[in-house]
Amino acid sequence: MWILSQKKRTVLGNNFIILSTMESSNINQNNEFRFESDTVSLEDIRQQVVEKTQNKQSTNTRNLFLDLFDSVGQISSKFRDHTDNDCKVGLPEWSDDERKSLEMAVNVTMEKLIKLSDKCQIDLADATLKKMDKNKQKYPVEKAFGMAKKYNEL
């Protein structure tokens, strides 16, 4: 089984960060997956993306969104030829080349999401935490866990 691996910060030309794999895994003692980002934050990545694109012609937010949408389509295409059975947690049925291709597509998508959020001046971490808090209020675990109902039907 191919286990998601620990991430390592690698700097390429133009200060572009790419997350590459190392041999150790991201599975903790409780057999739970976790991100290993002790050395890099979303702000670090945002700064690298901004520096990389700073000398390029300014792109409007609409085009950035369309680019993001296209890159999500690239991720979708990676799953298109696989069955549900092939897409179990950890993608154990995928070849190393398929996993690397997916990793690159996710990386490009993340870069585009960060670029869009920067242009819109949206703090991704803050927006995520706010949305999670709002969902926690709308869908309390004791009422919503295991249910497929809308919040007004709970």
CATH of the domain at 75: 1.10.287.1080
- Does residue 58 lie in a domain region? yes
| % pLDDT > 70, the chain | 75
**pLDDT at residue number 8:** 38
Report yes or no on 103 lying in a domain.
Answer: yes
The continuous run of DSSP H or E covering 7 comes out as strand 5-11
Residue 67 CA: distances (Å) to CA of 41, 88, 120, 126, 134: 23, 28, 15, 23, 28
Mean pLDDT in residue range 6-17: 39
Asked whether residue 46 is domain-assigned, the answer is yes
Average pLDDT value for the chain:
78
Return the higher-pLDDT residue of 42 and 29: 42
pTM of the model: 0.69
- The answer to whether residue 128 sits within a structural domain is no
Domain count of the fold of the chain: 1
Q: pLDDT digit string (tens) for 47-76?
A: 888 888 776 666 789 999 999 999 999 999
Would you say residue 127 lies in a domain?
no
Q: Note down the domain range covering 48.
A: 5-122
Residue 40: its pLDDT value, please? Answer: 78
Query: Three-state SS for 9?
Result: strand
